[in-house]
Structure 1
Amino acid sequence: MADADEKDEHNNANDDNDSDAKPQDPENPSPEAPKPVYSVFSPGMKRFLVVTTVFGTFFSPFSSSIYFPAITPIANEYGRPVSDINLSVTTYQIMQALAPLFFGDLSDQIGRRPVYLLSFAIYLGANIGLAVQHSYPALMVLRAMQSTGSSATVAIGNAVMADFATSADRGGFIAAVQASVMFAPALATTLGGILSQFLGWRSTFWCLVIMTGVFLAVYLPAVPETARNIVGNGSIPPPKSHTSLYTHFRQRKLRRQLADDPEALAEALPPPKKLPLKIPIPNIWAAVVIIFEKDVGPLMLFMSLFVMANYAVMVPIQDVIRRQYNFNDLQVGLCFIPFSVGSVVRSIVMGKALNWNYARVAKSIGVSPDRKRGDDLRNFPIERARLDLLWPSTFLAVGMIVGWGWVVTAGTSLAAPLVVLFFAGLALAGPVSVLTTLLVDLYPMNPGRVSSTFNLTRATFSAVGTAVVQYMIEAWGYGYTYLFMGLIVLAASPSVLVVRKWGPKWREERYQRFAKKQQEAEST
């Protein structure tokens, strides 16, 4: 099992398109064959995939945030303190860390469509249960199930972008996914406040049921399978179990057009890959060990602490705003908008910046980015192309985290905390987009696996931050609590410089290690 994992990692350690040299068999490229395009999907289909992936990714952060305005009403109905209900947020985050380890790797092995459908089936059932349950234990269990179903969508969403986007364009596409993750809290908390205020907190879960139905009504018939392990660059037909109505009619049209030319038909529609009869067991350990790679581990530690500190700002907002300004559920929900608007703006800008900086670095080393066929990243300074964009957001984030604590302590007018939240949103979105893109660059053939690893670290740290932040506030006050959070982020930031300098060397060492393991496996 370990040797197989090493061989798998070797195949994806350095090249955007090393698996696509021959449409009929992407895993065994022919040295004589010309390098084909990275993806055969049309520009229109790529845009459609971005839209549906963004909508699918939307559910995980949306489900988390729509719940915030309802925390106090739920606590009142169940006769429990707010800290008890906050534990359901922690439970949600724990499953956000664990579930993608299973679903992300599974989607790399058996395809995106079946894993999407499985995760949304779990999510739909959990939302129905949450809408009708009447006990605190049921709330905790069903929130865990809700997170299990929805949290896989972020890891799979990043993987779908890697399925059809080369490294030169990948930053913009992944930033679009991250923009949906950042925008979701604004809409969710506002809508959650409206629903909780006028229809009761249970209506928030019925809203999620309806949204899930709308998404599945679009996804089931229209979205094709994209996993490169199943369809290569899109030229290999998927198995029948993975075939959407769109793909079915497209294949039928090709068969009708090429009925008189069997050779052309065989080339246009080669036999689909045979999937194993048994569903493979996702290799969770293979995802976990990515954390211990010398170039990946420090980045994940820094970003997990970064996200934890920002999430520690978000979770107590509803209670702070409610008490200090005597707001109702709707007004509390509206106060989340500045943070999310800042996040969306920064995600859009960062997407363009990532593509621009990639092209700039490529030009500086005499390389012209190949947006159709992809670039060989083994000798490309991808760490420099991505990480140089991290610093403005990092320093802004530290300032806003520290500033938030003292603004809340001062009890200023509402304008001050809302301005701080807007700039905190600006600061958070940039580094998340940068690191997510870089991780996919480092593991292009296992994007689901590496994205799930990132989810594991950042959700685990966020869960810890959510669990302890209220106790820290009660012991230290807001000012010193968020001063401490800001200093944690600042102390961890030199790890980025370490990876920028030595990352290419460590990446090459990993490539050689995997190559050696592969040779040993082939010789036995």
Structure 2
Amino acid sequence: MTQDLEKQPESSTEDTPPAYSIFTTWQKRFIVLAAASTALFSPMTAQIYFPALPAIAKDLDVTISQVNLSVTTYMIFQGVTPMFIGSLADSGGRRPAYVVCFTLYIAANIGLALTPSYGALLGLRCLQSAGSASTVTLCYAVVADVITSAERGQYIGLTAVPVVLGPALGPVIGGLLAQYLGWRSIFWFLTIFAGVAIVLVVIFYPETCRRIVGDGSIPPPPAYRSLWQILKSRRTRLSAAKSDLSRQASHGSKKEKTFKFKAPNVLESVLMLFEKETGLLLGFSSLCFAGFYCIATAMPTLFSRIYGFNEIQNGLMFLPIAAGSVIASFIVGAFTNRNFERHCIKLGIPYEKSRQPDLSGFPIERARLEIGFPLMLMSIVMLIGWGWAVDAKTHVAVPCVLSGLMGVGIVGFNNTTSSLLIDIHPGKPGTASAANNLTRCLVGAGASAAIVPMVDALGAGWAFTLVAGILLLGCPAMILLMARGIKWREELRIKKEKKRKAKEGQE
């Protein structure tokens, strides 16, 4: 009996599926935090030069409306560009996509700092958006590479912090730079910031794309290796040669994977929107984020009118939302992971954080939205309260508290839907995130353009009540998603399998 007990661990080990990733917990934290840090560029760049718009218009001898056009073109490219970069990242790797993004971004910022005309400003802002917009998409793709569904909720939470910190910090930094060093210093600041980021990516950041490195144990092709990996590999080979252990060192190690570059398909992100589950999820998620864009756009105008705030004070009013997003990132992520574990136990599925379970028959929609949906309902209530608090000209502390709670709700809901989107598209996280970005930017651009005229026509109270009412009308979509999600995923899987077999038959 003792011998049988001693044999049990060995047999169970043999039956245990391999770990999802070979990276340690601290390595995964470093990878995700680094990706989240790069994701700061997109939202911050969109907001950082708002305080300098009057100075830019005066210096280039154009109207404020003409300069505002650069904001619109930035948002359009912010929505469209990730379709190209996201598909490139899924087919050709994360590191090349990062290098392309930061090269475009740095070149655009240098040009903007030296721009002599309005036409150059408009074109270079488009190039700047093309470089920065995809950093958020790449961040979600990296999380999908190294983090399992069991612990993805908490890690996704970390990636949401830059999305809200960017709009909060951008106007403050931009206002200070424009006031003391001139508006061109904003773009020199972004150039230096991006230069530091790309140097760190080139030196330290590993390739994580599972198509290239699998669980991380497959050595990437030389062009995909970080400088640190190259130096480490050389030291290992030299050490093995000196000790005459090259044969033993190579024994049992995985060979470098033969990697064939696949041309990116930029239409995949658009086609995802026509899938039942993805379309409903992204449609409602974009409406949710439109509520955030409405607050972000209307807040400076309303606070200037009612409380007499200047640009820097208006920028500081974004900090409560940022604080709410940080709280949501840690608390909501933990609850999401716990709910995933609860469903695993309920269905008798082995729960291990380091191993990816089969989600084909798993109610992943319920596991995510049972946490996220109540937060969305809370955000709707806070949105109405914020509008009427500003309309009634209450003490500024009241809208600050309400916006902080709204940050918890909107960012918490965003975290759960982003996790769910990656869960239902495990092989193409970059493409799926690009589809998410496309819908948010387009709907957000419309909301940003409409909210101030709505406030002028209806007043802040009724305008934000109308926005909340639109969100409330979309809530049944999430209930339907929780009820039909498994069925729709299976139907889509069968459809794709038939299409794949038909294609193989033609070849």
TM-score (norm. length: structure 1):
0.88
Give the superposition deviation at 1:83: 4.8
CA distance in 1, matches of 2:112, 2:308: 28
Mapping of residues 120-519 of structure 1, within 5 Å: 120-256=102-238, 260=245, 262=247, 265=250, 267-276=252-261, 280-519=262-501
Change in 2 beyond 3 A, CA 1:101/1:405: same
Q: Give the counterpart letter for 2:423 in structure 1.
A: D
Give the superposition deviation at 1:72: 4.4
Give the superposition deviation at 1:408: 2.6
Change in 2 beyond 3 A, CA 1:152/1:245: same
CA distance in 1, matches of 2:327, 2:62: 38
CA distance in 1, matches of 2:15, 2:128: 47
The RMSD of aligned alpha carbons is 2.2
Change in 2 beyond 3 A, CA 1:249/1:42: farther
Aligned residues of 2:86 and 2:434 also touching (Cα < 8 A): yes
Point out where structure 2 has 5 or more consecutive residues left out of the alignment. 1-13
Q: Give the counterpart letter for 1:421 in structure 2.
A: S
Point out where structure 1 has 5 or more consecutive residues left out of the alignment. 1-31
Q: Which residue of 1 aligns with 2:32?
A: 50
CA distance in 2, matches of 1:235, 1:491: 47
Aligned residues of 2:33 and 2:158 also touching (Cα < 8 A): no
Q: Give the counterpart letter for 1:196 in structure 2.
A: A
Aligned residues of 1:86 and 1:467 also touching (Cα < 8 A): no
Residue 41 of structure 2 corresponds to residue 59 of structure 1: yes
Q: How many residues align?
A: 490
Q: Which residue of 1 aligns with 2:10?
A: none
Aligned residues of 1:347 and 1:429 also touching (Cα < 8 A): yes
Give the superposition deviation at 1:63: 1.1
Give the superposition deviation at 1:236: 1.4
Aligned residues of 2:171 and 2:311 also touching (Cα < 8 A): no
Q: Percent identity?
A: 39
CA distance in 2, matches of 1:318, 1:229: 45
Give the superposition deviation at 1:76: 5.3
CA distance in 2, matches of 1:368, 1:472: 52
Deviations 1:16-63 (A, max 9, x none): xxxxxxxxxxxxxxxx99732211123332222122111111111111
Aligned residues of 1:196 and 1:329 also touching (Cα < 8 A): no
Aligned residues of 2:91 and 2:263 also touching (Cα < 8 A): no
Q: Which has the larger radius of gyration?
A: 2
CA distance in 1, matches of 2:60, 2:383: 33
Of residues 20, 34, 43 in structure 2, which corresponds to 1:38?
20
CA distance in 1, matches of 2:32, 2:131: 20
Aligned residues of 1:342 and 1:426 also touching (Cα < 8 A): yes
Q: Give the counterpart letter for 2:359 in structure 1.
A: L
CA distance in 2, matches of 1:285, 1:339: 34
Give the superposition deviation at 1:122: 0.7
Higher relative contact order structure (alpha carbons within 8 Å, sequence separation ≥ 6): 1
CA distance in 1, matches of 2:300, 2:387: 15
Residue 80 of structure 2 corresponds to residue 94 of structure 1: no
Give the superposition deviation at 1:313: 1.4
Aligned residues of 1:193 and 1:332 also touching (Cα < 8 A): no
Q: Give the counterpart letter for 2:259 in structure 1.
A: K
Give the superposition deviation at 1:134: 4.3
Change in 2 beyond 3 A, CA 1:283/1:335: same
Change in 2 beyond 3 A, CA 1:240/1:214: same
Give the superposition deviation at 1:477: 2.9
Q: Look up the SS of the partner of 1:493 in the other structure.
A: helix
